[in-house]
Amino acid sequence: MKNTARLILRELAILASALLALGTVVPSAAQAQEKLKVGIVHIGSIHDAGYNQAHAEGVQIMKKNLPNVEVIQVENVPEGADAERVMENMIKQGAKLIIPASFGFMDPALRVAKKYPEVKFVHPGGYKLAPNMGTYWASTPEAFYLMGIAAGKTTKTNKAGYVVALPISFFLANVNAFQLGARSVNPRFETRVVFMGTFLDAPKEAIAANAILDMGADVLGVIVDSPIAVVQAAEKRGAYSIGYHYLGVQKFAPKGWISGIAFTWGELYTRFAKQVMDGTWKSEALFGNLSSDYLTISPFGPAVSADAVRMVNDTKREFIAARKHVFAGPLKDNKGAERVKAGEVFPLQGIGKMDWLVEGVIGQPK
């Protein structure tokens, strides 16, 4: 038996030598790993300096981090049946991870996920799960509160304006948080809010921005897909601006830039892809915060004082440590009704039910 074993080993050694002589190379584990195809569907342009560009740059960072990942990307896809067709086409091309990157893609993605249980889906901002579909987003009121501190310390007129897509609870909560942050450092501060009725209408957004500036505001914020129209309107009028969604908005308003709230999805997308590749992915609802690597405060502009930056950073640490809460009572709405009693806190987990605006915000959700 020993002689037989020796003969087998010798033959294997001879075979290996022959293969090497012929130039045959046994691939490493990394080389042998099958490529992962990731499909991402965008509702708008990936050059919007906003919602869509943040997602697009996230997948590019994922691709850089993971050379074995291939990205299939389609932009300007309407919600509904078109989105389903695009996702199915991606799957037919071999995609095993799909990112339907719009809130309105949630139900279409669920329908496609049911048809293709072997494909994984991750949906931003959604609230429905499936065995092969998870969700992800980040809690933003704390970040908006920080923007309010910076605005309250920078304004000269004590007036700001927010151009907002729709009067839904999460957006109301963000405007409320901004106003509360500003009032914490500037009791005379007020915020006027205008609702667009849509996520993208640049001409209409510019008109709204200029109307708010005409009323005396010198700070403009924005909650629509692309912040370009609003921050540029502020810049042209010598006003200050605050960005949203994308880290690179400052280039559109360099002089009046205060700061912004950005989603930096790259490392999260890298984790998703790794989990699909190694078989550890699971359906879950991820909801990050200021300590997460995908919710970022943009660099501050030249108009923001060192004292304001210090206050923002100190408050950020308080939020992360859970020593401070955005919606701590007593709080009244802008009609004078008490909404949160002294000693109580309106929880961030409950902002889906926030249908009111705080004292100092001019405008109505309905």
HEC string of 169-190 equals: HHHHHHHHHHHHHHHHHCCCCE
Residues in the chain where the model's pLDDT stays below 50? 1-9, 12-32
Token pair belonging to 348: 């961030």
Distance (Å) of CA 169 to CA 259, 309, 360: 23, 29, 18
The residues that bridge with 82 in the sheet, in sequence order, are: none
> 69 and 273 in contact (C-beta within 8 Å)?
yes
Token pair belonging to 205: 């957004």
Element (H, E) at 242: strand 240-245
User: How much of the chain is in helix, strand and coil states, percent to nearest 5?
Assistant: 40, 20, 35
Residue 34 has a pLDDT of 72
Domain 141-262+294-362, CATH = 3.40.50.2300
Listed in order, the ranges of the chain carrying CATH 3.40.50.2300 are 34-138, 141-262+294-362
Q: Is 357 helix (H, G, I), strand (E, B) or coil?
A: coil
Edge-first strand order for the sheet with 361-362 is 295-297, 257-263, 240-245, 219-223, 159-164, 190-195, 361-362
157 Cβ neighbours under 8 A, 6+ residues apart: 216, 217, 218
What value, to the nearest 5°, has the Cα angle with vertex 51 and ends 242 and 217? 25
Measuring CA to CA, which residue among 227, 231, 154, 158 is closest to residue 191? 158
Mean pLDDT of all residues in the chain?
A: 92
- Residue 107, phi then psi, degrees to nearest 5: -65, -40
274 Cβ neighbours under 8 A, 6+ residues apart: 66, 280
Measuring CA to CA, which residue among 120, 87, 119 is closest to residue 102? 87
Edge-first strand order for the sheet with 36-42 is 69-74, 36-42, 95-101, 120-124, 133-138, 285-288
Residue 17 has a pLDDT of 46
Distance of CA 128 to the CA centre of its chain: 18
* Global confidence as pTM: 0.90
Residue 366 has a pLDDT of 75
Fold (topology level) of 34-138: Rossmann fold (3.40.50)
Residue 43 has a pLDDT of 97
The angle, 0 to 180 degrees and rounded to 10, between the axes of the packed helices 169-185 and 306-320 is 130
Dihedral (CA of 263, 267, 272, 273) sign: positive
Measuring CA to CA, which residue among 143, 142, 125 is closest to residue 134? 125
Residue 231 has a pLDDT of 98
Residue 15 has a pLDDT of 42
